[in-house]
Amino acid sequence: MPESTDAQASLPESPGGDHHPTQSPKARPSGDPTGAEPPDRDSERERIERRQQNMNASQRTGDTRASSQVGIVLATVFLAYLGQTTLNPVIAPLSREVGLDEWQIGVTISVAAIMVVLTSQIWGRRSQSWGRKPVLIASLATCTAAMTLFAIIAAMGVGGNLGKTPLFILFVLVRGMLFGTALAAILPTAQAYVADITSSEEERVRGMAGVGATQGIASIAGALVGGLLSGISLMVSVDMVPVFLFAGLLVVIFVLRRESRTELVDEPAHVSPFDPRVWPFLMAGFGMFTALGLIQIVTGFLVQDRLGLDADTTGLYTGGALLAAGIGMVIAQTVIVPRSKWAPSTLLRVGTLLGAAGFALLALNSGFALIVISVTVIGMGVGIAMPGYTAGPTLLMSREEQGGLAGLIGATNGLTYAVSPAAGTAMYGLSPILPIAVGGAILVAVFVFVLIHPGFRRAPESAPEAAATGAPRAD
């Protein structure tokens, strides 16, 4: 038995090969100064078993605590992205109501994405050194303030109290720079935490899929809430955004536990985007989210122009289309990904190919029903591919690198949205079919890249620890 082996290994061996127990003076029987009486092996076995039981109980307690904290972090992600996505169905008709051109709202969103690029890795590393709670409080408080100001500015624009130029500048400063900087902290914090408490490939993929599914559920709820409220008024949807963000802030303040000093990383590592373990996944993710971003921002315009709707009705229909995309993403990440148990590279190949098929369907102008089917397929494809992109490189990095990697992934996502909204709206102005064709072609290119690049071999079954493996860092 293993216990007997351990007990024997703890006994020193005499030159003649006989084992003699090591006993304290108190344990030696009186009248026998040599302590030659054999040990009670049953007692030794019981002590080992009790020690193992205590370790198992401690591990279960730690797992339960970590699990409850993950739930709180995911609830925070949900409320933050519920706030953001509630605005999505109404942003296109709102821009026309206040007199902005399509390219101007595209630039506003692109500026927010640029701020995500510039600050995501900083936030990711700070989440490991400061702790999740302080980072999320700072992020959500700033998001709430920014979107409160945005609602006031939008109301002034709808009322005709601000001209086109000052309105555009304020949109860029508040919705673009301030909100983009603050929102950049949310995903890297959640992803770094998931990477910190999981080790095997299956656990990591499932955890990252949980983060993605939370975003998908938030997009469903946001599309539903934003679309329904726009039936009352566009401004009702806008006014609800800071309410959801403030709710997330309250959850963090009153429910999320702050980590102890021993749970933090004193000096999180900087991760280079050119690290050979990382850049192939970043390239795949960049292409995938660029294609998605091209179509997300023009969906409202596509619905309005194909169906000939007014602004308020467009918000309602666009909400329905985005709701369908969110449902496809959630089905992928809560059903397909966990049950398939595919490796990250397989998830990327299947997801991008399915997404490309969705873009091909969207190119057909056959009414609202086909739009819904198309974006559902696109959402399902991206939902399958996303955990492969986010979990794959984490399995190749040490714990100290996880915060920097999560920030780098967030920065890559932000870079795609710095490019795709402005590019998508500009292409739509030239031809409504152009952003659809380009998005589909990008997904096909990503599929081929993942298929042939040697960097997409199966990731290791467990993540390396820097102390154990001496994994190189891209400092």
pLDDT > 80? residue 319: no
Lowest mean pLDDT: which of 231-235, 258-262, 314-318, 393-397?
A: 258-262
Question: Which pLDDT score, from 0 to 100, does residue 142 have?
Answer: 97
Here the tokens at position 451 are: 């298929």
Tokens 């992205």 locate to 81
Query: Where do runs of H (alpha helix) occur along 19-163?
Result: 41-86, 88-97, 102-129, 132-158
For residue 351, give the H/E element and its range: helix 344-362
Per-residue pLDDT band at 48 (split at 50, 70, 90): low
Q: For residue 312, what are the contacts with CB-CB under 8 A and spacing of at least 6?
A: 93, 230, 231, 233, 234
467: pLDDT strictly greater than 50: no
Highest mean pLDDT of the ranges 111-120, 184-193, 279-288, 448-457: 279-288
pLDDT score, position 108: 87
Provide the residue type at 96 as one letter.
R
pLDDT above 80 (res 397):
yes
User: Across residues 182-202, what is the average pLDDT?
Assistant: 85
Alpha-carbon distance 8 to 56, whole Å? 23
Q: Confidence band (pLDDT; 50, 70, 90) for 28? A: very low
User: What's residue 458's pLDDT?
Assistant: 52
pLDDT in tens, 136-154: 999 999 999 999 999 999 9
Q: Are 437 and 291 in contact (CB under 8 A)?
A: no
Work out the pLDDT band at 21, boundaries 50, 70, 90.
very low
- What is the mean pLDDT of the segment spanning 213-231? 82
Range in 259-268, 281-290, 336-345, 424-433 the model is least confident about? 259-268
Instruction: Please give the Cα distance from 193 to 34 (Å, whole number).
Output: 55
Amino acid at 285: G
Mean pLDDT comparison of 47-51, 228-232, 262-266, 373-377, highest-scoring range: 373-377
Q: What is the pLDDT of residues 59-114, one digit of tens each?
A: 444 444 555 678 888 999 999 999 998 988 788 788 888 888 878 887 888 888 88
pLDDT at 376: 93
Angle between helices 201-230 and 186-197 in degrees, nearest 10:
150
Q: Which amino acid, residue 231? A: G
278 near 393, Cβ under 8 Å?
yes
pLDDT for the residue numbered 141: 97
Comparing 29 with 287, the larger pLDDT belongs to 287
Confidence of residue 46 (pLDDT cuts 50, 70, 90): low
Question: Residues 280-290: what's their mean pLDDT?
Answer: 93
**Model confidence pLDDT, tens digit, residues 327-372:** 888 899 889 998 988 889 999 999 999 999 999 999 988 888 899 9
Average pLDDT of the segment spanning 422-439: 88
Q: What is the pLDDT of residue 374?
A: 93
Question: How far is residue 265's CA from residue 180's CA, in Å, rounded to a whole number?
Answer: 26
Predicted confidence (pLDDT) at residue 468 exceeds the cutoff of 70: no
Give the C-alpha separation, 280 to 70, whole Å. 28
pLDDT of residue 161: 86
Distance CA 147, CA 114 (A): 18
* pLDDT for the residue 65: 53
> How confident is residue 457, by pLDDT bands cut at 50, 70 and 90?
low
Highest averaged pLDDT of the listed ranges 160-164, 379-383, 460-464: 379-383
**Are 414 and 117 in contact, with CB atoms under 8 Å apart?**
yes
Give 224-245 pLDDT, tens digit per residue: 888 788 878 888 899 999 999 9
Mean of pLDDT over the chain: 80
Q: For the whole model, what pTM was predicted?
A: 0.69
